[in-house]
A and B are shown apart, each in its own frame.
Chain A
Amino acid sequence: MDDVAHKQFDAIPSFLGVPIGDLEDLVPGQVAMAGYFCDNLDRPAAGQRYLARQLRYASRPENAPANVTDLGDVNVFPLEVDKHFSAVISQCEAILETGARMVLVGGDSSGLKALGIAVRKITNTDVLVVSVTEGIMGNLSKTQPIILSVDLQELGGIWMSQPRRLSGLSPAQMIAQIEATPGNVVAAAIFGLAPALDNRGTTETCAALAILQAVAEHLEKGAS
């Protein structure tokens, strides 16, 4: 993307305030973030699709990770399931083929499924999906490629504007788990939260943003 285009996109909110870019801007080792605007396919709950938008609105550029790019949202076809998965998988593949690591943000858990298929196609291996809520697998080697699954439904009710259960992890616990995840995290999905779009959603949005920051930084470290 040239400088003129960059200036044009300066005012558009992006994840963590990172620069907005295109596929051709990606280089190996970079972290690419993309929004996933779909919440009706796997564990459906209306509103999860707005998480990416909400996180962009809440982002401030002060702590923007240096090696991360916001690619916008992947194209989705939530009413045409086969077309949808095919499209999302191929877009994720295209991103991963550049050598970048990828974070899919928002929506339901169908995004994780598509991301998993894409990573397996690219790496030609049966890549593990590691959930931050299930704890760290002690026998993972540092080079083992993994996909990090961050299900925000596992946050405790106290952090949510519309709690559905009392128990759960705090954002700090989730971040600690993310930071302690061993292995070579090649991709991550953050999903499962339908943020309230008014002031009541401030807490959960801030929590999700801090978790997104931790994921980005963890993938950046892996990339360095």
Chain B
Amino acid sequence: MITGYAGLPFGEISQCEARSVGVLGVPSEVDSGQRIGASLAPDALRKMSQQLGIALPVNGWDLGNLNLLGNWSVALMQLVIKMVDGDIVPVVLGGASNVASGVLEALPDLPVVAAMPLARGDVAARQEETIWVGLNGGQPADVWDQINQRSMAWRTARQLDEGDTGFSSMPKRAILWVDISVIDLGHAAGAVGINPAGMKPETLVSAIGAMTCSWQAIVITGLAPERDTRGMSELTIIETLNAALRNG
């Protein structure tokens, strides 16, 4: 029997107190490519955190998985807004990247710290500047132009692995989006995206753990647990979440 994520009890938003977290699974699936399995991620993370006996550094409730029948992205946005309005940090376990799109759309005025190998145009186009963590390989030219014109902060996977983790300025409040594809496939194979020469798992944990901003929402995407029999990918997410919540 699966318990709530990291030992949290299952409950509803109304039970969450201010300054706590609400963990919500959104098991959407990638719609193309051969590396599917993202819909299994929320329950795989719950199971892995249960096996490891890991506890979160903050209190909260596990709100279960969002029902994906109908227009779930609207329901997701409403839930996220409701939690943030109540000073509850939504920790959203995707799912595919469309889960993050829903979270970001719900909170349009907040800056984003995005850990992913390829910068996304929709994120770069947000009003507030995005901080990019773990970029790797050729970036889309138009997005790259935008990043440079707006002097957004970024670090490549290699820079971070070599210890260049300092960002000159961090926003006080931000959304954290971690797509597990930011990790090198050789270290953690459970990702829907293939990223040779991506970040090491420990680097992601330490880079996120060193960030001092107060996370208003955290969203995890791209985890395909069945592709990683050892569970390194789930472990990476679990430790990254704990590192983020310890500070923010």
B230–A163 CB distance below 8 A:
yes
For chain B, the bracket of interface size reads: 10 to 19
Chain A neighbourhood of B62, CB < 8 A = none
CB distance from A54 to the nearest CB of B (A): 17
CB distance from A181 to the nearest CB of B (A): 25
A163 to B52, CA, bound (A): 9
Interchain residue pairs A-B with the least CB separation, the first 8: A166-B201, A166-B202, A163-B235, A166-B239, A164-B52, A163-B232, A167-B202, A161-B230
A100 to B137, CA, bound (A): 57
Contact code string B49-81 (vs A, CB < 8 Å = 1, else 0): 000100000000000000000000000000000
Contact residues of A: prevailing secondary structure: loop
Contact code string B225-248 (vs A, CB < 8 Å = 1, else 0): 000011110011001000000000
Contact residues of B: prevailing secondary structure: helix
Using A164-B52, A166-B205 as known contacts, say yes or no to A200 and B239 having CB atoms under 8 A apart. Answer: no
A165 close to chain B: CB less than 8 A: yes
Using A157-B201, A167-B202 as known contacts, say yes or no to A162 and B230 having CB atoms under 8 A apart. Answer: yes
A200 to B230, CA, bound (A): 8
For chain A, the bracket of interface size reads: 10 to 19
A68 to B187, CA, bound (A): 36
Chain A 150-173 residues near chain B, CB threshold 8 A: 156-158, 160-167
Chain B neighbourhood of A162, CB < 8 A = 230-231
A52 to B203, CA, bound (A): 33
A157 to B232, CA, bound (A): 7
A200 to B205, CA, bound (A): 25
Using A164-B52, A166-B201, A167-B202 as known contacts, say yes or no to A157 and B235 having CB atoms under 8 A apart. Answer: yes
Chain B neighbourhood of A161, CB < 8 A = 230
CB distance from B130 to the nearest CB of A (A): 26
Chain A neighbourhood of B230, CB < 8 A = 160-163, 200
Q: Which residue of A lies closest to B204 (CB)?
A: A166
Chain B neighbourhood of A165, CB < 8 A = 235, 239
6 A-B residue pairs with CB within 8 Å: A157-B201, A160-B230, A163-B230, A163-B232, A164-B52, A166-B232
